[in-house]
Amino acid sequence: MISLTSPVETWAHRWPAGLKLGLMSLATVALFATEDPAILGASAFGVALLYASAGARFARAGARQLWPLWPFLVLIALWHGLSGQVAAGVALTLRLLAAVALANFVTMTTRLSAMIEVAAVLLAPFRRLGLSTRALEISIALVIRFTPAIARKGGLLSEAWRARSRRRPGWQIVMPLAALAIDDADHVADALKARGGVLPIPDTDQKG
Amino acid sequence: MERSIALVALFAALIAGLGFIPKFTLAFGVPITAQSLGIMLCGTVLGARRGALAVILFLLLVALGLPLLAGGRGGLGVFASPTAGYLVAFPIAAFVTGWIVERWRGNLAVVGAVASVIGGIVVMNLIGAVGLSIVLGKTYVESLLLVTAFIPGDLIKAVLAGLITASLAKARPASVLSRA
Amino acid sequence: MAPVDRPDDLLRLEDLRVAHDGCDVLGPLTLDITARRTGIVGRNGSGKTTLARVVAGLQAPTAGRVTISGIDPAKDRRGALDRVGILFQNPDHQIIFPTVEEEITFGLRQQGRSKAEAAAAVTAILTRFDKLHWRAAATHSLSQGQKQLVCLMAVLVMGPRWIVLDEPFSGLDIATRLQLMRHMARIEARILMISHDPESFAGYDRVIWLEGGALREDGPAAPVLARFTAQMRHWGDADDLSHLAG
């Protein structure tokens, strides 16, 4: 499956994922702690520099990912423009852009496997509470494997629908799609069971 | 155990899959996507605990950087955007929806729809609006007014969730874990 | 390649019965199987797939006992991992992971091998099948025959003493089928293969014919297959398609 990682390798790819996530969290807290348009403007400019340092192609891909925010920017512009609080509106816009772009930057420069490792480390304390990190790893792999399969089945179902109907299918295919997902779940449960199910793995990595 | 994991993972994938169904626009211009229908179904079909787990698993993969939200969005950025409150609300909405279906043993289509209204609309928007008010700098009441535009579409989805759950209970009775 | 003969490589079914929703689908069946290659034939609905699931331990019998190389496959799941592997009819139902490497690694990790050991074993099995370039391939992009081969490698790599094959060739073209058969002929483990195609049993020692969940015939492959084929032709002329089960 396509992930949102960058099309090009950048300097930031070589930074440890945990460090990037930590810095990003601190920066995000700081962004939401201030109202000062000057500080927020400087932050947004800094994030823009971050994207620029990774090259033009990377920066374009990053800009595309900010596009879904436009309805909110329009909303802020209208609201604050009409009520005359322009400075507050500018501050909000800068904070929104900086925070989202910074988080996207971390996502774009971190491989999925590195992210999963960080998640496993963060979730390790929950192991004492009985959370099976093994079950979690398997579940993550299952979702990655089945999302394209379900999307493809949705496509096949809507073709089967259109072959006998002049109208486009909508919600009508959700029920057969859910039924297919459930049948798949039964097969997957068998496939897991055939190879040992969710057995806890003995700690063999430490020895060798 | 294996079956629970498989169902939870496949419903997480189903939420993502529903994001690929093209959004349709209501008469007064509000776009609705099928993704929140997926959240409701997690509750009505899988029940409170497994339903919430499926949604959390879905969100975890979004956070890890997979473009699974409607419109191909994903990554950490969505958790800093104005709709972040809704992402927090997703698992709670699924839990409340599932909790109601597990306890109220009436006609599944009716119970499923009502549970989806309470969990998938009331709880969802009450929590989602908190996020909107923080990121957009509005008061909580102003934010709640903003989201009322989406309620007609959500009501349609809640009715669909009830109908779909009832027909699944007929087609695959063993899989409607909320009533198992 | 000659199989390593172990005295305990015995598949024993004792008064085995399986019922679904109170309706008997298999048995009572009592059999001892030790042959290197055993085929199971029968029509659709004769209980073949149920037998495969019970032997692989995916399902516990309603009554009676299954013992495979000394263990009960449904109860001792950990012990079952290196005794019996199963290849499903549809590889799409078997493949769990996004890439070939992860799919093959999974079973090894389940057996408690370290990451390094598992990686080495994956390389070994891919090399043996001359498919090293498949390592990072996305499983959903493979053809049906390629998927079936990945499933076979994922099962073989775990080194089971028995392999259960449930209609492994259905839906494959003739050339792909012949290639897969060639790969399977080289397998050291004992094979229990289900099929309704007599041609896929070339080189088999013993064939068991099930009909309506019960044993119809059991013996050396060639004569049983000949009588099975003749009976299928005879039934083919009749019309029993209209009977509904139950």
Mind listing the pLDDT tens digit for each residue in B59-109?
998 988 888 888 777 888 888 888 889 999 999 999 999 999 999 988 999
Residue that is last in its domain, among A120, A140, A168: A120
Residue of B nearest to A117 (CA): B64
Which residues does chain A have within 8 Å of residue B55's beta carbon, measured at their own beta carbons?
none
Write a three-state SS string for A17-71: HHHHHHHHHHHHHHHHHCCCHHHHHHHHHHHHHHHHHCCHHHHHHHHHHHHHHHH
- Cis status of the peptide bond prior to C28, with omega within 30 of 0: yes
Let me know if residue A54 belongs to a domain: yes
Residues A96 and A154 reside in one and the same domain: no
Q: Taking residues A38-54, what's their average pLDDT? A: 92
A205 pLDDT exceeds 50?
Answer: no
Hey, is the C-beta of A8 within 8 angstroms of any chain B C-beta?
no
Tell me how close the Cα of A83 comes to any Cα of chain B, in angstroms: 12
pLDDT at A203 over 50: no
pLDDT score of B153 = 83
Using the Cβ of C96 and the Cβ atoms of chain A, whether some distance falls under 8 Å is answered with yes
Q: For the ranges A152-156, A176-180, C197-201, which has the lowest average pLDDT? A: A152-156
Boundary of a domain, candidates A99, A120, A141: A120
pLDDT at B113: 95
**Residue A182 confidence (pLDDT) above 80:** yes
Q: Looking at the structure, tell me whether residues A17 and A96 fall in a common domain.
A: yes
Report the pLDDT value the prediction gives residue C78, as an integer from 0 to 100: 85
Predicted pLDDT at A149? 81
Count of pairs with CB atoms under 8 A, one residue in A, one in B: 190
Residues A44, A100 share a domain: yes
Inter-chain touch B168–A178, beta carbons under 8 Å? yes
| Range of the structural domain that residue A188 is part of | 132-194
Residue B43 banded pLDDT, cuts 50, 70, 90: very high
Each residue of C53-106: pLDDT tens digit?
999 988 899 999 999 999 999 888 888 888 999 998 888 888 888 789 988 998
pLDDT of residue C190: 95
**pLDDT value at residue C243:** 67
Q: Which pair of structure tokens corresponds to residue A76?
A: 């802020």
Say yes or no: A18 and A101 in one domain: yes
CATH architecture of the domain with residue range C9-83+162-170+192-235 = 3-Layer(aba) Sandwich (3.40)
Considering the domain architecture, whether residues A170 and A115 belong to the same structural domain is answered as: no
| Position A208 in a domain | no
Q: Is residue C64 helix, strand or coil?
A: strand
pLDDT for the residue numbered B90: 94
Does residue A189 sit in the same domain as residue A146?
yes
Tell me what pLDDT residue A110 has: 85
Give the integer Cα–Cα distance in Å for C66 and C107: 23
For chain C, domain boundaries? 9-83+162-170+192-235
Chain B neighbours, 3+ Cβ pairs < 8 A: A
Of the pLDDT bands very low, low, confident and very high (cuts 50, 70, 90), residue A208 is very low
Name all domains of chain B by residue range, CATH numbers in brackets: 2-22+30-174 (1.10.1760.20)
Nearest-by-Cβ selection for A201 from C102, C112, C117: C112
Is 80 exceeded by the pLDDT of residue B23? Answer: no
> Does residue A200 form part of some domain?
no
Enumerate the β-bridge partners of residue C207: C39, C219
Q: Write out pLDDT tens, residues A129-145.
A: 766 777 888 888 888 87
Closest Cα in chain B, distance from residue A194 (Å) = 10
Instruction: Give domain status of residue A5, yes or no.
Output: no
**Domain-located, residue A142:** yes
Residue A1 pLDDT: 43
Neighbouring CB atoms inside 10 A of C14's CB total: 15
Is C96 close to A194, i.e. CB distance below 8 A?
no
Tally of structural domains, chain A: 2
Q: Give the pLDDT confidence score for residue A159 in this predicted structure.
A: 74
Q: Which residues of A touch C90 (CB under 8 A)?
A: 187
What percentage of chain B exceeds 90 in pLDDT?
A: 43
Task: Let me know if residue A104 belongs to a domain.
Answer: yes
Question: B111 vs A10, which has greater pLDDT?
Answer: B111
Which among B3, B14, B65 has CB closest to A107? B65
Q: Which of A145, A194, A199 sits opposite C78 (nearest CB)?
A: A199
Q: Which residue has the higher pLDDT, C243 or A64?
A: A64
- The kind and range of the H/E element at A119 are helix A112-123
Residue B65, min C-alpha distance to chain A (Å): 6
CA-CA distance, B64 to C11, in Å (whole number)?
46
Q: Is A94 contained in some domain?
A: yes
Alpha helices in chain C (DSSP H): 48-56, 77-80, 91-94, 100-110, 115-128, 144-156, 174-185, 221-237
**Does residue A32 sit in the same domain as residue A114?**
yes
Q: Note whether A19 and A107 are same-domain residues.
A: yes
**Which residues fall within 8 angstroms of residue B47, CB to CB, at 6 or more apart?**
B98, B101, B102, B177, B178, B180
Q: Based on the domain organization, do A110 and A143 belong to the same domain?
A: no
Same domain, A26 and A91: yes
| Tokens 């958790």 sit on residue | B79
Burial pattern A80-111, b for ≥16 Cβ within 10 A else e, equals beeeeeeebbbbbbbbbbbbbbbbbbbbbbbe
For chain B positions 50-89, those within 8 Å of chain A (CB to CB) are 57-58, 60-61, 64-68, 71, 73-82
- Of A74, A100, A120, which residue sits at a domain end? A120
Alpha carbon distances (Å) from C176 to A194, C145, C146: 25, 6, 9
pLDDT at position B32, please? Answer: 65
State the Cα–Cα distance between residues B41 and C153, nearest whole angstrom.
37
- Measured between beta carbons, the chain A residues lying within 8 angstroms of B34 are 171, 174
Residue A200 clears pLDDT 60, i.e. is over it? no
Higher pLDDT, A67 or A171: A67
Provide the total of helices (H) and of strands (E) in chain C, helices listed first: 8, 9
Place of tokens 């073989």: C156
Partners of C158 on chain A (C-beta within 8 Å) are 195
